[in-house]
Amino acid sequence: MGSMASLSMASRNSIGIFSFRNPRPQSFPFSFSIMKYMCTNLSSGKAWKKLIQICKYFFSNYPVYPVHHLLCFGGERSSLSGSTPGLWSPNITFNPWEKTIIDFKFAADGEAFDLKDKIANLWIYNELDITMLYDQYYVKKLFSKIVLFNAEIIILYYQYLSWDEYQFLTSTAPIVKRADICHCIIRNSDDSMVTFDKLLETFKDLISL
C-alpha cells in the first residue's frame, strides 16, 4: 500500500515539474527532416498558426507569430454624442466647440499588444488596419516587427510612407481584395510625391480600391 502511495505521489510530482520553460519531451511521428521541411516551407499563415498551437516545437524553431487581423486605432470620438468609432471608419471630430476624447485600440486577433513591449516577429496574412491620427509614422514602427506580409485587406489612414514601404505592403500579397488608403502621404526617395498611377501599378490583382 505504501509503495502504491509513493508511486502515485512520485507520478504527480513528475508531472508538476514541467512548464512552458521546462516542457515535457515530445516524440514525433515524423522524422526530423520532415519537421524541418514543415518549418521552412510554410504554405499559409493560417496553417502555420494551427501548427504552433498544436505543437511548441514549431514556434521555438521559427519564432514568427501569424496574425489574421492586426488593428491599430488612435482617433477621436465625440464625448457629447457618445458615438463609438467603428473598426473601419472612425468618427473623427474636428468641431472646436465639441469636446473630444482620444480612443486607442491595439489588437492582434483580439489580443491586446504594445510595440513598446517585447513581442515576436509578425506574419500578417489577412488584414492590416491602421488608423492613427496622432502618430502618422506608426506603420513605420511596425515594419521592424513584420517579417512576412500577404494581407488581402489593407486599411491605412493618416500615415506617412516611403515608396519602398508602400511597395512592401501592396505587392507581396497575391490578391488584394480591398485597399483603403486615405489621407496618406507616400514619397519617393528624393522626397517627391508618388503619383497616383504609380501607386496602382504595385497591385497585382486589386478588387476594391
Mean pLDDT by groups of 10 residues along the chain of 209 residues: 42 56 70 78 86 83 90 60 36 40 71 80 92 80 88 90 90 80 91 89 75
Grid cell locating 111? 489580443
pLDDT at residue number 88: 32
Q: For residue 25, is it within any domain?
A: no
130 and 89 within one domain: yes
For residues 90 and 84, the answer to whether their CB atoms sit within 8 Å is no
pLDDT at residue number 169: 87
Q: For residue 180, is it within any domain?
A: yes
pLDDT at residue number 1: 46
43 and 128 within one domain: no
152 and 125 within one domain: yes
189 and 127 within one domain: yes
Q: For residue 22, is it within any domain?
A: no
**pTM of the prediction?**
0.68
For residues 158 and 139, the answer to whether their CB atoms sit within 8 Å is no
DSSP H stretches of helix in 19-99: 32-40, 45-54, 56-61
Q: For residue 1, is it within any domain?
A: no
Three-state SS at 4:
helix
In the chain, what are the helix, strand and coil shares in percent, each to the nearest 5? Answer: 30, 30, 45
95 and 35 within one domain: no
196 and 122 within one domain: yes
- HSE, CB side, 13 Å, CA atoms: give it for residue 69: 10
Q: How many domains does the chain have?
A: 2
39 and 76 within one domain: no
Supply the range of the domain harboring residue 38: 30-62
Q: For residue 6, is it within any domain?
A: no
